[in-house]
Amino acid sequence: MECVRLGPQPMSGGGVTAMGDQATERVSRLGLELGLTVQEVGFDEDVDLEFRSGIETVIGGELVDEDFDDVVDVVLMWWRDEDGDLVDALVDAIAPLTDHGVVWLMTPKPGRDGHIEAEDIADAAPTAGLQPTSTISAGPNWQGTRLVAPRAKR
């Protein structure tokens, strides 16, 4: 199944949803810009829909799904402790990335179901060929860790 990128889509209830000030600030920390292709991995009913909508507004199109078969600039990866092997998932996530692409690993905040310890991310990232560079709050229940290829590998 191939995804087609379109402009911002109306949410249920009609009209395009405007982001709140807090959501705008959280999304701005991702460093995204208009025209980037962002692939979403691990979507489920618990993801932060306002945060996702904010990303789509910033990039001017929809997030593409796991079946997208071209290169992407950013992978937005929602990951919970029970989702499986993080190293394997990160290796899969970097396959479609452009040379200077970024993985944003979104994990439940401490105290939330599915939380992943920072040490586990720090251990998994280098094994997958990535290094963590920063962490942000991505909403009331999610935090994001920015993962990039080490400079020597770029």
Strand partners, 132: 147
Quick one: average pLDDT of 119-126? 96
What is residue 19's predicted lDDT score, i.e. its pLDDT?
54
* Domains of the chain with bracketed CATH: 21-153 (3.40.50.150)
Quick one: average pLDDT of 124-142? 95
Q: Is the pLDDT of residue 145 over 70?
A: yes
What is residue 10's predicted lDDT score, i.e. its pLDDT?
34
Lowest mean pLDDT across 17-21, 34-38, 93-97, 99-103: 17-21
Q: What's the per-residue H, E or C state across the chain?
A: CCCCCCCCCCCCCCCCCCCCHHHHHHHHCCCCCCCCCEEEECCCCCCCHHHHHHHHHHHCCCCECCCCCCCEEEEEEECCHHHCCHHHHHHHHHCCEEEEEEEEEEEECCCCCCCCCHHHHHHHHHHCCCEEEEEEECCCCEEEEEEECCHHHC
What is residue 20's predicted lDDT score, i.e. its pLDDT?
62
Quick one: average pLDDT of 85-114? 96
